[in-house]
Structure 1
Amino acid sequence: MRRSKIVCTLGPAVDSHEQLVTLIEAGMNVARFNFSHGTHAEHQGRYDRVRAAAKETGRAIGVLADLQGPKIRLETFAEGPVELVRGDEFTITAEDVPGDRTICGTTYKGLPGDVTKGDQVLINDGNVELKVTEVEGPRVKTIVIEGGVISDHKGINLPGAAVNVPALSEKDVEDLRFALRMGCDLVALSFVRDAKDVADVHRVMDEEGRRVPVIAKVEKPQAVDNMEDVVMAF
């Protein structure tokens, strides 16, 4: 049995019945639904169209629900977007402060406890790179390594830090329940760290009375360190 799959991410650009039929005939095996975007109503409509296109082509198409996972973001800037230049000092704080080109708040108040001097901090999908120089109370002081423009609610990624946020956010649980009821065939879990993260997904599935295969996305160093336990969780 061929286990490798051609997975296509669906969205507004590929949404019509005709486009889905074309993808299936070209070899798509799995339709990925990205729950970082879109409403449940939009996902339901897309799901119905995938099933209709699969029936028309006589192909078995899997539906993958890819959960967003925990998101750490900047708060807001008082006067709009700011540009950070290499060598600038920039502080991310757990305090509620108006953001400017020197400081901004974060939605994750536990950030100062999770990072240490030398840690890498990426903002806006890695377009801006910072390095932690000091943690002082609620403030994480950094220096800009790679500059760029940042603005309200841009994402923060901490590649090397052991972040203590749950792998399943409240949104993820709601999305998981919806996807299971919708009829998804697989679930992808973002930012897996250990076996407990997988167990949390299984717990929600058991509450819904429906288990489907879980794909653990290895995006954090902790997942590599705990790989054996993560695999055994399945």
Structure 2
Amino acid sequence: MVSNHLLLEEPLRMASILEPSKPAISGCLQAGISVARFDFSWGDAGFHQESLENLRVAIKSTKKLCALMLDTVGPELHVVNKTEHPISLEENSTVILTPDQDKEATPNLLPINFTGLSEAVKTGDTIFIGQYLFTGSETTSVWLEVKEVKGKDVVCLIKNSATLAGSLYTLHVSQICIELPTLTDKDKGVISTWGVRNTIDFLSLSYTTRCAEDIKLAREFLSTLGDLNQTLDLCKGRQCGGDDSL
């Protein structure tokens, strides 16, 4: 950690790198980044610790300042594909989104990690499913239109052909607020262990942050963690229900 007081006097400069090696990080520091973001939607604590140790070596060799940002998973909806086998979805076919995670993911059935989707959507709503770090234009991303709700299941029309390959796919519903906590138990565990151990400078809340109360709760949690009491919150907020309190 490097003092964030200096960093607050200048713009935050961040970059995404796929290979967090010492040379790659050193190059980013030389190019001017001032904040390193550790995204816990991807990778475990061991992976991020290794990346952080590489960052520390790079900071020492380049003599450049860099703050640490922990990015939480938050209330993200995921497609649960335990087998990780590719799933081919065909345009104009139907697929059912189900909260029954014991079922296997198939081209006709996609288990998800949220039991309340059927209560949150209505006919005509748009649902987007994309692989982590998606751009929305690949053949690994799919748009769905809600056709009907059957109990806890949501029946959707597939709007474009795509292949879902891998285990981590996120699900986004247009104009719908998902009633899940901004900081999940997993988030709190990561912050109170990895975050405290490495004295993070910034906590990045999920894009689904809904209102000022979410930020208040996050700050209250940080205040219980001693050294993280001065950690700054950043949020990728999406307002819902006309709440302009962010």
TM-score (norm 2): 0.80
Aligned length: 225
What letter corresponds to residue 224 of structure 2 in structure 1? E
Q: Is the 8 A contact 1:74 1:155 kept in 2?
A: yes
Cα distance, 1:179 vs structure 2: 1.2
Mark the runs of 5 or more structure 1 residues left unpaired by the alignment.
none
Q: State which of 82, 85, 93 in structure 2 corresponds to 1:88.
A: 93
What letter corresponds to residue 201 of structure 2 in structure 1? D
Counterpart check, 1:216 vs 2:223: no
- Write out per-residue CA displacement over residues 43-84 of structure 1, whole angstroms, 9 at most, x where no aligned residue: 233333323432443332111111122232223488943322
Q: Is the 8 A contact 2:87 2:105 kept in 1?
A: no
1:74–1:152 distance in 2 versus 1, CA, 3 Å: farther
Counterpart check, 1:159 vs 2:150: no
Residue of structure 1 equivalent to 2:198: 182
Instruction: Please give the alpha-carbon distance, in whole angstroms, between the structure 2 residues aligned to 1:104 and 1:32.
Output: 31
Instruction: Please give the alpha-carbon distance, in whole angstroms, between the structure 2 residues aligned to 1:200 and 1:163.
Output: 17
Q: Is the 8 A contact 1:122 1:128 kept in 2?
A: yes
Instruction: Please give the alpha-carbon distance, in whole angstroms, between the structure 2 residues aligned to 1:79 and 1:173.
Output: 27
Residue of structure 2 equivalent to 1:41: 46
What letter corresponds to residue 118 of structure 2 in structure 1? P
Cα distance, 1:146 vs structure 2: 1.8
Counterpart check, 1:8 vs 2:15: yes
Residue of structure 2 equivalent to 1:112: 118
Q: Which segment drifts farther, 137-146 or 40-49?
A: 40-49
| SS of alignment partner, residue 217 of structure 2 | helix
- Write out per-residue CA displacement over residues 123-155 of structure 1, whole angstroms, 9 at most, x where no aligned residue: 134511101111121121111112212357532
Instruction: Please give the alpha-carbon distance, in whole angstroms, between the structure 2 residues aligned to 1:150 and 1:180.
Output: 36
Identity %: 22
| SS of alignment partner, residue 22 of structure 1 | helix
| SS of alignment partner, residue 33 of structure 1 | strand
Mark the runs of 5 or more structure 2 residues left unpaired by the alignment.
1-7
| SS of alignment partner, residue 9 of structure 1 | coil
Cα distance, 1:2 vs structure 2: 4.8
Instruction: Please give the alpha-carbon distance, in whole angstroms, between the structure 2 residues aligned to 1:56 and 1:119.
Output: 52
| SS of alignment partner, residue 54 of structure 1 | helix
TM-score (norm 1): 0.84
Counterpart check, 1:145 vs 2:163: no
Cα distance, 1:10 vs structure 2: 5.1
